[in-house]
Amino acid sequence: MSTTATTDMLAKARIAVLGYGSQGRAHALNLKDSGLDVVIGLRPNGPTWSKAVADGFHVVEPAEAVRDADLVAVLTPDMVQPTLYKESIEPNIKAGAALLFAHGFNVHFKQIEPRSDIDVILVAPKGPGALVRSEYERGRGVPCVYAVHQDKTGHAEDKAKAYAAGIGGARAMLIKTDFKEETETDLFGEQAVLCGGASELVIKGFETLVEAGYQPEIAYYEVLHELKLIVDLFYEGGITRMLQFVSETAQYGDYVSGPRIVDSATKERMKGVLTDIQDGTFARNWIAEYKAGLPNYKKLKQADLDHPIEQVGAKLRARMPWLQAGAKAEQPQLKKVG
């Protein structure tokens, strides 16, 4: 673990940031505020072009941004990266430059096979773009993991650490990993716990209470709304802090009932999920689904949006004005992927 990295390695470099979504914008602004030379590469007339210009950046098409760059940061959705690489990066990136990713999916699963004459690195902040930006502005930073896949110049690791310093990660913590570990653990966390596991646990809890005759509104508050209180305690101080702030009754219920819900059989199924990630089954299925136009993805997503817990939740959230700042997130667009 390291917190001593500086931006010196990139002091005279031009950095091309491809993509200007949540992470792309945060990285670009932080790098610029760290005194580094940043150009943004975007599709002409894309939805974020004017936003990047308004933020004070020079914005050009991806191929042009790549051509003069010493480091190219690929911060677009996973599924568009292979085409972006083939069309704009591979023909234009200069020998000895660095190609940087924030997630190892395409390199690890060989959807992108980088040219042999460049450095290939990874820097992944452990937080959303908004937090990466706000922590930087406070003089702090979000911890980052970093990795080297290909070291052509002998300076690939130094470049990765300098980039992490530029976005504020070195102010907090840098953890060295590799593309395999970052990719597989990230996918597992999303599927088994953070997204898939958590959402299914909430839905099944809601259904259990409603089917037993309890009011849907009460069920919503008990299994979804109050989950934030527990997650915040986990986030602040782990299981120890959570146990400090819940009642003894809740603690006892945790000890005796938690293992009845998430038991050894659940763990075995988690291992199955991990195996599908490790052997490439999940990646192959997801890539095929994307290429087919996302028919199952759209159907499954719509089923979640149509579930009674969302219908009840929308009405209840409308009565909680402190949540309205995040109201736009209640209607996700099916076209957004990655």
Provide the domain limits for residue 164. Answer: 8-178
Same domain, 173 and 198: no
Same domain, 171 and 205: no
**If pLDDT is split at 50, 70 and 90, which confidence band does 325 have?**
low
Which of 103, 149, 155, 225 does the annotation list as catalytic?
Answer: 103
pLDDT for 187-235, tens place per residue? Answer: 999 999 999 999 999 999 999 999 999 999 999 999 999 999 999 999 9
Rg (the chain; Cα; Å): 22
Is 226 annotated to bind ligand? yes
Is 21 annotated to bind ligand? yes
Is 208 annotated to bind ligand? no
**If pLDDT is split at 50, 70 and 90, which confidence band does 1 have?**
low
The answer on pLDDT for 172 being more than 80 is yes
Same domain, 253 and 129: no
Same domain, 65 and 157: yes
| CATH number where 27 lies | 3.40.50.720
Give, as one character, the DSSP assignment of residue 2.
Answer: B
**If pLDDT is split at 50, 70 and 90, which confidence band does 5 have?**
confident
Is 8 annotated to bind ligand? no
Same domain, 171 and 29: yes
The answer to whether residue 103 is catalytic is: yes
Give how many domains the chain has, as a whole number: 2
Phi, psi of 190 (to 5 degrees): -60, -45
pLDDT for 229-263, tens place per residue? Answer: 999 999 999 999 999 999 999 999 999 999 999 99
Same domain, 131 and 203: no
Token code pair at residue 229: 């209180």
CB environment 165-184: b (16+ within 10 A), e (fewer): bbbbbbbbbbbebebeebbb
186 in any annotated domain: no
pLDDT for 50-69, tens place per residue? Answer: 999 999 999 999 999 999 99
Is 46 annotated to bind ligand? no
pLDDT for 285-301, tens place per residue? Answer: 999 999 999 999 999 99
Same domain, 14 and 138: yes
